[in-house]
Structure 1
Amino acid sequence: MRVLVISDSHGNYAHAFRAHELAGPVDHIVHLGDGCDDARMMEEVLEVPVHRVAGNCDLDRQVPAELTLELGECRFLLTHGYRQHVKSGLSQLIGRGVQLGASVVLYGHTHLADVQSADGMLLVNPGALKEGLPGSYAIVTIEGATAKAEIFPL
């Protein structure tokens, strides 16, 4: 299973669609906030399930701040990251992932792409798709209970 992970598009839906085009076939799309309207547009146009969480710049209070998903045999935690203060470190994010039994934690907010492991979890920040930034996205590949991630430039 392949999952396209994007974040922080801040209204630049063209970059979001470009990331989808570059990613090739995917089974799911995850948007990690600060661009909920961009994610909604993708959901309306594409024939792929789109999962989204709200970021600190999103005004739609109908969109959850965090979400857990079961994809394959992996439990995912989706969050923008501002509530876990990820710009000051990942300890709160890791704690929340452990609390929810996540094996994969997806977050944004910092605009810095990163893939690392902590406490048995895969932590993935796809970077940002905001105008004026180089832009990046992530592909998470799931095989059974194993997930791996790779960052790609836009």
Structure 2
Amino acid sequence: MKLLIVSDSHGLQDELIVIKERHADVDKMIHCGDSELLQNSKEMANFLSVRGNCDYDASYVNDRVEKVGEATCLVTHGHLYNVKMSMMNLHYKAREVGANVACFGHSHVAGAEVMDGVLFINPGSILLPRMRKERTYAILEVEDNEATVQFYDISGDRIPSMQLTCTLA
């Protein structure tokens, strides 16, 4: 199973289309909010998307839980869980819904870590990154419960220092 994860594109259109075309081999695509685009726009087509604090299209949902292969993914933007301060609320929500992967954005800080059996993935921002210069997104691959998260810059180049491999619970 292969999953494309983006967040915080804040109005970018051409870049979303290029990223989708570049990774046409993925099984699913996730947008963790703050696209600032209409949910039914061509740029957002085929994304499992959620509403961020800068999204004004009321047809977006705040959270979604998606079963993708061996992963049960909680997808949210993160602002409703105060992720800039602590991961505790998001962790509780992931546990509540039975997710072993939590995909979120909001902070624009790219990263992946495992806490208490849940893999947390923030793909960063493809427009306004924080804590690093690269504008980033992520690919999650899962095979036989082994998960690998690899980050890419906006040009599609891997960022070798940003990779995590772990076992999904």
Q: TM-score, normalised by structure 1?
A: 0.88
Q: Matched residues in 1 for 2:152 and 2:49: separation?
A: 20
- 1:125 correspondence with 2:122: yes
Q: Matched residues in 2 for 1:107 and 1:63: separation?
A: 15
* Paired residue secondary structure (2:4): strand
Would the aligned equivalents of 1:36 and 1:54 in 2 still touch at CA under 8 Å? no
- Within 5 A, what are the aligned runs for 1:60-71? 60-71=57-68
Q: Which of 17-26 and 83-92 deviates more?
A: 17-26
| 1:90 corresponding residue in structure 2 | 87
| 1:4 corresponding residue in structure 2 | 4
Aligned residues, how many?
A: 150
Per-residue deviation at 1:18?
Answer: 3.0
* Paired residue secondary structure (2:94): helix
Q: Matched residues in 1 for 2:23 and 2:135: separation?
A: 13
Change (3 A) 1:11 1:123: same
Q: Which of 76-85 and 139-148 deviates more?
A: 139-148
* Paired residue secondary structure (2:43): helix
| 2:49 corresponding residue in structure 1 | 52
| 1:139 corresponding residue in structure 2 | 139
Q: Which of 75-84 and 128-137 deviates more?
A: 128-137
Would the aligned equivalents of 2:108 and 2:128 in 1 still touch at CA under 8 Å? no
* Paired residue secondary structure (1:86): coil
* Paired residue secondary structure (1:19): helix
| 1:33 corresponding residue in structure 2 | 33
Per-residue deviation at 1:12?
Answer: 0.8
Q: Which of 128-137 and 4-13 deviates more?
A: 128-137
Give the CA RMSD over aligned residues: 2.0
- 1:103 correspondence with 2:104: no
Greater relative contact order: 1 or 2 (C-alpha under 8 angstroms, separation 6 or more)? 1
Q: Which of 28-37 and 79-88 deviates more?
A: 28-37
Change (3 A) 1:144 1:43: farther
Per-residue deviation at 1:37?
Answer: 1.8
Would the aligned equivalents of 1:11 and 1:38 in 2 still touch at CA under 8 Å? no
Q: Which amino acid aligns with 2:69?
A: G
Q: Matched residues in 2 for 1:43 and 1:81: separation?
A: 19
Note the residue ranges of structure 1 that are not aligned, 5 or more in a row.
none
Q: Which amino acid aligns with 1:135?
A: R
Identity value in percent: 31
Q: Matched residues in 1 for 2:93 and 2:109: separation?
A: 20
Q: Which amino acid aligns with 1:86?
A: V
Would the aligned equivalents of 1:19 and 1:137 in 2 still touch at CA under 8 Å? no
Note the residue ranges of structure 2 that are not aligned, 5 or more in a row.
155-169
Q: Which amino acid aligns with 2:3?
A: V
